Amino acid sequence: MASFYLGCNRNKRSIVLDLKSDTGRDALYALVKKSDVVLHNFRTAPAKRLGLTYAQLSEANPSIICAAAYGYRADGPMGPRAAYDDIIQAGTGMAALQSVIDGEPRFVPSVVADKTTSQAFTITILAALVERERSGVGQDIEVPMFETLVANVMVEHLFGETFLPAVGTAGYKRILNSERRPYRTKDGFFALLPYTDGHWQEFSIKVGRPELGEDQRFLTLQSRLKHVEEYYALLGEIAATRTNSERSALLADSSIPHGPVNTLEDLLDDEQLKATVFWKEVKHPTEGQLRTTDVPQRFSRTPTELKRLPPLLGEHSAEVLREAGYSDEDIAELIDSGVTVQHL
């Protein structure tokens, strides 16, 4: 199994169904009758061919919620297009934002469009479930990657274009700044942001530069934003005078937001993650010993737990079909005909 698959598919079961066949769609609708939500990421045309539209699913269960993740809103001119993370980062302005640092567009080295849309998908489904508790009726939900990430990017970067007529250009100036970066120290890089006026006064004392607390360029948040390049450049100069551990020790008892720049390897031995037992080790029946993350969120009354390791494709086909009312003979027939697969 690929590491990405292992990271995404804990606590899930896997069933295989050939939805191009009548018997496969019949099995789907048998499952829908006992389900709360059907979610998919097929575009509208293939979704209809496979029987996955809300109109088709609601015939089996009027209270079903059908949640579809598309590349673009289906009724727009780009609705039929396929979309991947790179394409969405490019189209939403996110790649162009990196030009401030690199001089040309760059992709963020994480599948940020996919993951941002997934979070929006989850929130939208939960909202629909709450609404259904009140109305008793299901509904069709559309979560488009493009529009979701545009909203995410432009919440701060609409900026002067928020107002009509515009009072300035788009782009949040504090962030769109080549000096906004992790600062080089004597032995690495460090993140430092004395943001509020209180932070700034405390910072000037902590670093032995009390005169900065009287400098009119940096005295208030408004003045620091006006002189933001000088502000960031000054932080860089100050950070360079100490090591990461010296800087952390100096600011440890302060209210000033700060911290070292961790590599991916550093995270595996991070003190905070160790103290909260974030990294878990599990034994997978086919993949051997694995490291996995804890669920970050905590519930006081219903704590989370790792109940199922990532499944083989079709590992639970027979189990799930049996719960939908299929007999062992029916399941054997579906396996023999290739409509489903059961991997043990």
Residue 122 near residue 42 (C-beta atoms within 8 A): no
Do 183-260 and 3-153+297-337 fall under one CATH topology? Answer: no
Which residue type is seen at 344? L
Sole residue written with tokens 């997978």: 284
CA distances from 47 to 21, 171, 256 (A): 14, 38, 51
Concatenate the DSSP letters of all residues of 61-121 into one string: -TT-EEEEEESS-TTSTTTTS---HHHHHHHTTHHHHTHHHHSS----SS-HHHHHHHHHH
The residue ranges of every structural domain in the chain are 3-153+297-337, 183-260
Triad 105, 107, 111: Cα angle to 5°? 160
- Domain 183-260 has what CATH class? alpha beta
Q: What pLDDT score was predicted for residue 286?
A: 94
Q: What b/e readout covers 127-146, taking b as 16+ CB neighbours within 10 angstroms?
A: ebeeebeeeeebeebbbbbb
The Cα 238–Cα 208 span in angstroms is 10
The Cα 197–Cα 222 span in angstroms is 10
Closest alpha carbon to 65 in 47, 75, 79, 53: 53
pTM for the model: 0.89
Q: Which residues of the chain carry a pLDDT beneath 50?
A: none
Closest alpha carbon to 40 in 75, 64, 5: 64
CA distances from 120 to 67, 68, 142 (A): 11, 12, 11
What's the pLDDT tens digit per position in 173-183? 888 888 889 99
The Cα 259–Cα 239 span in angstroms is 11
User: Domain spanning 3-153+297-337 has what CATH number?
Assistant: 3.40.50.10540
Sequence-ordered strand ranges (E) for the chain: 37-40, 65-70, 140-144, 183-184, 189-192, 258-260, 279-284, 288-293
Q: What pLDDT score was predicted for residue 40?
A: 96
| Residues 6 or more apart in contact with residue 217 via CB below 8 angstroms | 223, 224, 226, 227, 230, 231
The Cα 63–Cα 75 span in angstroms is 24
Largest distance between two CA atoms of the chain = 84
Sole residue written with tokens 């007999």: 327
- 203 half-sphere exposure, CB direction, 13 A CA radius: 24
Concatenate the DSSP letters of all residues of 19-31 into one string: TTSHHHHHHHHHH
Mean pLDDT of the chain: 95
* DSSP H or E run through 267: helix 264-267
Task: Please classify residue 73 by burial: count the beta carbons closer than 10 Å to its beta carbon, then call 0-12 exposed, 13-18 middle and 19+ buried.
Answer: middle
Torsion of CA 200, 175, 122, 52, to 10 degrees: 180
Cis before 257 (ω within 30): no
Q: What pLDDT score was predicted for residue 185?
A: 95
Q: What pLDDT score was predicted for residue 100?
A: 85
